[in-house]
Amino acid sequence: MEKTKLLIIDDTKINIDILLELLGDDYNISVALDGDSGLSIAKKVNPEILLLDIMMPNKNGFEVLKELKLDSKLKDIAVIFMTAINDVETEIKGIDLGAIDYIRKPFNGKLVKSRIKNHLELKKLRDNLQDEVNSKIDEIIGIQNTLVETMCDLVEYRDSETGLHIKRTQIYAKLLALDLKKNGYYIETLTDDYIRELNKSTPLHDIGKIGISDTILLKPARLTDDEFKIMKTHTIIGYEIMESTKNKFTCKSYLDLAKDIAISHHEKWNGKGYPYGLKKSNIPLAGRIVAVVDVYDALVSKRIYKEPMTHVKAVSIIETESGESFDPIIVKSFLNIANDFEKVNIKYKD
């Protein structure tokens, strides 16, 4: 059976020798004589437990612990301070920083062994419990994601004209977001998490069509003005569906983004879109991205009432609408990767 990894950081060699003699048979021990070396070793071996001296030159034990807690891979190491200091304020400071215990110098061998053994058992119990919690959360989120995907399928089944529209727009939106980030646009918003959530949310942009009558949704011709007014309400219906769903789900973050997309993907940069006539940056970024990909896909796709437009013509129209219907920065990014859009359209052709 593999021994538990233990790291000792202490600038006094005699203390290390005592601990090696005391614990060497039971643990796989690494040692360091200063804080910086100890942090470097911790990154390499990732010990389960760390015995850490407080009073060291250059970088003391408190400073080492602070750095450990800032590292996502090391923050869960169980840290026990070793010190000859005997005052409450020092103990409180260490516990507040994340230490789990103190061992007094000079060492009591039996006490040291007992403390380490007990804390390792507690850590094992906590880890097992956390694994069970994480597993249950993953299961719940998986069920919820499946339900959301089913909602997307409902829209597609009802509106046979959309075909692979949902799949294509999802890919287009991710391509656009990645290119925007690559070129330094909206980087405060376009984090990796945001782009993942955008990828999950984009397929829900037309979820509100569930609430539109079949006589309008499936009409084999262009809509009348009155019918189009009703069709426009799919944005508000979609928002309300997402708001209601979000309140029942654990995975709320991307449903917030889906809500923004549903309500705003038909808004226009110049304020002439719907449902609220929002302008420019008042339109959520996700809605501005999906607006471009939604229109591109509509232009190059066949509908009962129209033939598909060529890729070149569709790109020309979107370029012309820069600063009118669409965010100019997003159009600039679209033009950078327009060839990728064409490849996706060909691959996932209806």
Mean pLDDT of 126-152: 71
Could you tell me if 49 and 118 lie in one domain?
yes
In a domain, 62, yes or no: yes
Is there a contact between 237 and 208 (Cβ–Cβ < 8 Å)? yes
309: left (phi over 0), alpha (psi -120 to 50) or beta: beta
In a domain, 150, yes or no: no
> CA 59, 6, 28, 23 torsion: positive or negative?
positive
Could you tell me if 187 and 322 lie in one domain?
yes
* pLDDT value, residue 147: 66
Mean pLDDT of 281-310: 93
Could you tell me if 296 and 337 lie in one domain?
yes
Could you tell me if 300 and 223 lie in one domain?
yes
Could you tell me if 15 and 65 lie in one domain?
yes
* The two structure tokens encoding residue 202: 């984009």
Is there a contact between 217 and 158 (Cβ–Cβ < 8 Å)? yes
Name the percent of the chain lying above pLDDT 90: 52
Could you tell me if 195 and 110 lie in one domain?
no
Lowest mean pLDDT among 69-73, 194-198, 241-245, 263-267: 241-245
In a domain, 45, yes or no: yes
In a domain, 280, yes or no: yes
Domain of 26, in residue numbers: 4-131
In a domain, 102, yes or no: yes
211: domain CATH number is 1.10.3210.10
Q: How far apart are CA 188 and CA 190, in angstroms?
A: 6
Q: Spell out the residues 6+ positions from residue 254 whose beta carbon is closer than 8 angstroms to its own.
A: 196, 197, 198, 200, 201
The more confidently predicted of residues 180 and 144 is: 180
Count up the domains in the chain and report the number.
2
29: domain CATH number is 3.40.50.2300
In a domain, 79, yes or no: yes
Could you tell me if 17 and 126 lie in one domain?
yes
Could you tell me if 267 and 189 lie in one domain?
yes
Helices 165-182 and 338-347 pack at an angle, to 10 degrees, of 160
- Encode pLDDT of 296-340 as tens digits: 999 999 887 788 999 999 999 999 999 999 999 999 999 999 999
In a domain, 146, yes or no: no
* Neighbour count for residue 10 (Cβ, 10 Å): 24
Residues of 117-156 as b/e, b for ≥16 C-beta within 10 angstroms?
Answer: eebbeebeeeeeeeeeeeeeeeeeeeebeeebeebbeebb
Q: What are phi and psi of 339, to 5 degrees?
A: -65, -35
Could you tell me if 108 and 168 lie in one domain?
no
- Pair type for strands 4-9 and 78-83: unpaired
Could you tell me if 272 and 329 lie in one domain?
yes
* pLDDT value, residue 158: 64
Could you tell me if 114 and 234 lie in one domain?
no
Amino acid code (one letter) for 155: V
In a domain, 107, yes or no: yes
E strands, the chain, in order:
4-9, 27-32, 49-53, 78-83, 101-104
Q: Please write down the HEC assignment for all residues of 185-206.
A: CCCCCCCHHHHHHHHHHHHHCC
Could you tell me if 41 and 92 lie in one domain?
yes
- Pair type for strands 49-53 and 4-9: parallel
